[in-house]
Structure 1
Amino acid sequence: MIWGKVIGALAGFAFMKWPGAILGALVGHWFDRGMAQDFSKRGAWGRFLYGAEKAAGDANFIYTLFAVMGHVAKAKGRVTERDIAQAQYLMQQLKLDTDATKEAQDAFREGKEATFPLQQVMKDFSASFYGNRDVLQLFMEQLIGLALNDGVLDKTEHEVLVDVAKALGFTRFQLDQWLMMEKAAFRFHQQRQRSHAGSGGRQSSTKNDLADAYQILGVTEKNSNAEIKKAYRKLMARHHPDKLASQGLPEEVMKQAQQKARDIQAAYEQVKEHRDIR
């Protein structure tokens, strides 16, 4: 934004000529900086005020997700049938139309190329959402879930995820925390499916299930009930439909995030029952 500097310089010039113009421009600079930071926290509102169309943001999110997905898949040396099937499954889950599906497929292929400019793509992606950390974290969650499609994370895949996380302003520690939570969610989800199939829909509560439920919430058995409630509410707030809509995310991606919210809810219910949380 430059209007603060322009207005400040003009006002300063009117009162104190050139010295006033310089002083006014400096004051305006700090005003612009503060406004830009405020807009960056407002997600879609900031993008609207900057004149970016939502459709462009949607397309950028989808392109970047599938391109980086292809890059992660290729990192281990060979893209497997499971990787391709996972990409196709995600396209179906997102209910992409024919044109969008083709663009996603093209993005996946681009990501596999050795010359794929990962750092620049991530820099552009972050800029398109004005560095909104909620959106960037949701992107990382989606990407981690895709990388763990078989429950295993190859060392080279992990290195790419580290590069992506750092490019978006996150630390390796944060990434490893999210990986732990997603691995737990993968095991928890599979166990719930087996329990439904083997006991007519009744849930089995084992020690391993409970440990995974804690990890999904980002807590441990040592945390107090109040701390667990706080962690649960924070996770649910981040994945709430209204919150996601305000961030300017594609509707298709919002639906995927809501599935994550259901997993968080199921994990909390198991922990709550075990600890008799009211």
Structure 2
Amino acid sequence: MKFIVLLIIAVALYFIARNYKTEKFANIRLDVKEKFEGDLMQHEAGLLVALMAKVAKADGQVCELEAQLLKHTLNDISRHFENEEQIRQKLTTIYEEEKKSFENTIEICQNLYKLTKNNYNKRVKIMEYLLNLAFIDKDFSNTEFMITEDIAKFLQIKREDFERLVNAFETFYKKQEEAEGISLDKAYEVLGATKDETSNEIKRKYRTLVKKHHPDIIAGQGASQNIIDEATQKLQEINEAYERVKKSRGE
């Protein structure tokens, strides 16, 4: 199905943009649209979205990056169909329903396997896409591992291929975290905060520092221009540190 190809291209571009190596896809026709009026839970599109719902449900919350990826996925799949808006509404309904429970996960995997049993590489790419969703918040929980492990098993993905994908994502995000680690540690240091503190606690410390170093307040105290300039630089550092911490927490 060409919608799978579209998603694979999206994933490829996403990771290429982030220096994560993946396959190059070329010579793909994207101008042919499918007309589908049946049950999407008997179609690769609906089954894929259903599995995405299971993975998204695994850690109990959907972060902003996950929400963006889900939104783009529904849009990209829907654009493959002539009845685009109708398909998008149906896929949205599937997602909302399927994230309520894990009970039918095996059945969904078995149905998707039947549709893709002659294309192992496609199933591996689907697995890669689902792992991308699980890892995108940079926290691959035990629950996410278990649900993706089960999905891989019932899609009949070889264990070594599943582990290879997981290791690749872990390595990628570990390197990214290491590259950002110093700046994040520095941000907490600037705010006089720790990673264990709540966002509200950090916000209070941030506001206290802003009041202390705001150049207008410093100027009102009769400080010299040099002191005012130093306060301006310090306030910029405080603001940058606070934004860095908020970003790391998905806020």
Q: Which structure shows the higher helix fraction?
A: 1
TM superposition score normalised by structure 1: 0.43
